[in-house]
Amino acid sequence: MRVLVLGGYGAVGARVVAELRRRGDEPIVAGRDPQRAERVVDLADPAALRAAAAGAEVVVNAAGHEDPAIAQEVTDAGAAFVDVTATTAYVAALQRLRPRRPILASVGLAPGLTNLLAAAAHAAAPGPVEIAVLLGAGERHGAAATAWSYRLLGRRFADASGGPVRNYSRPRRFDLPGHGRRRLYRTDFSDQHVLTRDLGAPVRTYFGLDSTLATTALAGLTWLPGAAHAPRGLHFPGGDGWVALARTAAGGLRWATGRGQSQATAVIAAAAAHIAAGLPPGVHHLHQVTTLADLPAHQHILLGGSCGTTSSSSA
């Protein structure tokens, strides 16, 4: 399958390209840098984007450029569109489109794998769902991912109950495989909003880093005016391991672990590209078109869980 990867030389994009090649596909590296891109594309130029998408069956957006006009141009050109975004407002904008070809969102580790974990936990024991996401502070994330994390500082979003929640506040404790009992904080990942609608039960996402110091710093900075503009060059000690977990109040539990958030996102995105190619026109989310059980076995993602009783502890 021919797949155009926007931002195909970035932290996530390069791994998406490698994963597609491993699967026997024909990825095309696209971006603005002529030294690194096989196909030079300025995403602000609709004509150039349509020309680049011509002949591709699927376009994967790993560039961190969040503009629904890109999805519209790609689908108008005849390709399916896959996006690894976690931004709630952008996902909502995508959902308002009426594309001629399929758009597949909620793709990656969080959202994406978290959606599948939450859907599986809810299916096993229906009820409110809590999602935990722990990422490695030591992994060198791309500029877009770093900017996303900082941009949330001090901002509020709507909770499943309708009330406002400040990012990196309202902690909960989770027992995480390989990391023990950890305190994580509410964060505006798009998975919880889509899942609350689709599962018919409140879904809430909590986030932290494997460095307790880094997690505590986020929880403190979120109350400081202007913290969203703090220097981006700070790096906390930590590893590259990650954990994603979903638990329900009724006892459903599913989790996944691995090393390298970017690699896990790439694995899910490559699988999603194949799924998207066969979907009907419209906007879809990963948990709507596949299940955790259908996820192909991969050395970078270890799955586990049970239907036993799970604890649900407050701060």
Report, as an integer, the average pLDDT of 144-161.
Answer: 85
pLDDT (0 to 100) of residue 145: 66
Distance CA 93, CA 67 (A): 9
For residue range 65-80, what is the model confidence (pLDDT) as tens digits? 999 999 999 999 999 9
pLDDT (0 to 100) of residue 226: 78
* pLDDT class of 315 with cuts at 50, 70, 90: very low
Report, as an integer, the average pLDDT of 260-272.
Answer: 95
Pairing state between β 39-40 and 129-135: unpaired
Distance CA 235, CA 214 (A): 9
Angle (deg, nearest 10), helices 46-53 and 68-76: 50
Neighbouring-strand partners of residue 256? 244, 303
State both tokens at 4: 């155009």
Question: Is pLDDT at 263 greater than 60 in this prediction?
Answer: yes
pLDDT (0 to 100) of residue 212: 92
pLDDT (0 to 100) of residue 236: 60
pLDDT (0 to 100) of residue 91: 97
Q: What phi and psi, each to the nearest 5 degrees, are found at residue 185?
A: -125, 150
Please enumerate in sequence order all residues whose Cβ is within 8 A of that of 154, keeping only pairs 6 or more positions apart, or say none.
Answer: 166, 167, 222, 223, 224, 225, 227, 228
CB atoms within 10 A of CB 278: 10
Angle (deg, nearest 10), helices 191-199 and 88-95: 50
Question: Is pLDDT at 234 greater than 70 in this prediction?
Answer: no
DSSP 23-77: TT-EEEEEES-TTT-SEE--TT-HHHHHHHHTT-SEEEE-S----HHHHHHHHHT
**HSE (CB half, 13 Å, CA atoms) of 98?**
0
Report, as an integer, the average pLDDT of 221-228.
Answer: 83
Question: Is pLDDT at 82 greater than 60 in this prediction?
Answer: yes
Pairing state between β 282-285 and 102-105: parallel
pLDDT (0 to 100) of residue 150: 82
Pairing state between β 180-186 and 169-176: antiparallel
* pLDDT class of 298 with cuts at 50, 70, 90: confident
Neighbouring-strand partners of residue 254? 246, 305
User: What CATH code is assigned to 2-108+265-289?
Assistant: 3.40.50.720
Q: Using omega within 30 degrees of 0 as the cis cutoff, is the peptide bond preceding 111 cis?
A: yes
Please enumerate in sequence order all residues whose Cβ is within 8 A of that of 272, keeping only pairs 6 or more positions apart, or say none.
Answer: 82, 104, 107, 112, 286
* pLDDT class of 176 with cuts at 50, 70, 90: very high
> pTM here?
0.93
- Let me know if 279 is exposed, middle or buried by CB neighbors in 10 A (0-12, 13-18, 19+): middle
Q: Do domains 2-108+265-289 and 110-260+295-314 have the same CATH topology?
A: no
Distance CA 280, CA 282 (A): 6
Residue recorded with tokens 């990012």:
167
Q: Which CATH class is domain 110-260+295-314?
A: alpha beta
CB atoms within 10 A of CB 160: 17
- Domain boundaries along the sequence of the chain: 2-108+265-289, 110-260+295-314
Question: Is pLDDT at 235 greater than 90 in this prediction?
Answer: no
Cβ atoms 262, 11 nearer than 8 A: yes
Report the chain's mean pLDDT, rounded to a whole number: 91
